[in-house]
Structure 1
Amino acid sequence: MNTEHYLPLPELIPQDLLDRFRKLSPAQLCDGMAKLGIARNGAMDADLMPLDDRKVMLGTAYTVDTEDGDNFPIHVAVYQGQPGYVLVVAGKGYPGRAYIGDLMAGAAQAVGLAGLVIDGCVRDKLPLAELDIPVYAKGFMQRSPGKQGPGKINTPVTCAGVEVAAGDLVFGDYDGVTVVPRARLLEVLEASEKKGIYEEQRREVIDQYVRCRDNGEPLPELAPDWVTRLLQGR
């Protein structure tokens, strides 16, 4: 089998950066990337859903490029996986077969992967949800995968509408999955942290408004400054 497109794992994103990202959310990262003009703001398709809304996924991307429900390269990638990586499978949204089930996800958990992103279908829904590893997929299909290969590993892919390179940051929660390009981690982080500060300030204003309303006190301005400026044409 021709495996010339099976490339090595990328370097893990430094833990100090991951710790800062973990204080944010995928939605805040999208807002930060919107400020920077990054395509799609890093947001994967809306129909890529978590199997369990309670789990948070954060790690360094490594990729598989495959199609038509063929999971041979996924097997290879999983068994070469290491802690801290999120496996991103560009499966082209194929609906006719499941790319993985609970056995492969269990193996991914055993090697320490931080999550699985499948642009396509999975099966064994309930056992998958009971695992600790976060899993994102576009649907469920009981039909077994193909195993032809070779596919590609750690080449640039488009997964669920977003371009992903090995080494990018992948962050998922109940809202969906966001991808941050490796080369722009710091500027996205700083822009997103500013959005987090803004949101905290807005919560304080809303809480103050509610207190004043309940106490019969004069009400503060509730609308953000940018709303007022737009209304006044400035």
Structure 2
Amino acid sequence: MRPMTDTEKSAAFQAVSTTTLADLLGREQVMDIGIRPLWGPVPRVAGPAFTVSCPPGDNLMLHAAVHRAAPGSVVVVESGDLDYALAGGNMCAVAQVRGVAAFVADGVVRDLAEIRECAFPVFARGVIPVPGAKKAVRPLNEPVRCGGVRVAAGDMIVADEEGVVAVPAARSAEILRRARAQLAKEAGQTLADWEKEHRERIDEILAAAGFEG
């Protein structure tokens, strides 16, 4: 069987919620709760990471990345700056036209009304009206940290209203297979089935801990 293309892989992961992925990957691959959708209801997005590092107060390399990221990419930005915006409405509109799937930014943006109007998915720490400078040159597609998670270029990013998960590229096929199996099991399970299985598991844990009642 031939390997999946990035487009096929992104479409497959778009059908998997971040809650399912968190069950499989654990806390270390889930970005912290500060990285959240800035408008809603936001569609689930999935795509390979195009990574960017911006120092505090500067957004030059995000602007550079928008013109270099392949269509379908999720641009992931390391910054940590809450005082200057990494992007605004025009930059998000350009990214959307160029086929970028979303921004996931450890920082803030501006022009939220414009971003919401064009329905470009942005997951970030918030909004501030102050623009950043454009001076600092850094390499693109180097590993970054965003929301406490290490992200390398090509890792699969899945983001929805529940949060943002980074699936390491080396594990993407395995995680997709396991996610599909879990979703298939859940699809064939009624609420009564789930409740029975869940209660049995909870009772076993309680009994093993010596709980009576």
Q: Taking structure 2 as the reference length, what is the TM-score of the superposition? A: 0.87
Q: Distance in 2 between matches of 1:29 and 1:153?
A: 27
- Mapped to 2, the partners of 1:33 and 1:85 lie a distance apart of 21
Q: Distance in 2 between matches of 1:195 and 1:99?
A: 37
Could you tell me which residue of structure 2 aligns to residue 26 of structure 1? 18
- Paired residue for 1:153? 140
Q: What's the offset of the Cα at 1:59?
A: 0.6
Residue of structure 1 in register with 2:177 after alignment: 190
- Which amino acid in 2 is paired with 1:99? L
**2:178 matched to 1:178?**
no
Flag the structure with higher strand content.
1
Shift of 1:41: 4.1
Matched with 2:76 is 88
Percent identity reads 32
Matched residue, 2:95: 108
Write out aligned runs for 1:66-85 (5 A).
Answer: 66-85=54-73
Deviations 1:126-180 (A, max 9, x none): 1111123211110111111111110231001111110000000011111111110
Distance 1:184 1:223, change over 3 A: closer
Query: What letter corresponds to residue 127 of structure 1 in structure 2?
Result: E
Structure 1's unaligned 5+ residue stretches are 1-11, 35-39, 210-219
Post-superposition offset of 1:120: 0.4
Largest Rg, 1 or 2: 1
* Residue in 2 that maps onto 1:232: 207
How well do the aligned residues superpose, as a CA RMSD in angstroms? 2.2
Q: Which runs of 5+ in 2 are unaligned?
A: none
Counterpart amino acid of 1:162? V
Find the counterpart in structure 2 of residue 162 from structure 1: 149
Tell me, what secondary structure is at the counterpart of 1:232? Answer: helix
1:233, 1:161 → 2: CA distance? 35
Letter of the 1:225 partner, please give it: E
| Pick aligned residue for 1:53 from 34, 40, 45 | 40
State the number of aligned residues.
205
Q: 1:222 Cα deviation (Å)?
A: 6.6
Do the aligned partners of 1:205 and 1:222 also contact (CA within 8 Å) in 2? no
The CA distance in 2 between the partners of 1:182 and 1:137, in whole Å, is 22
> TM-score if structure 1 supplies the norm length?
0.80
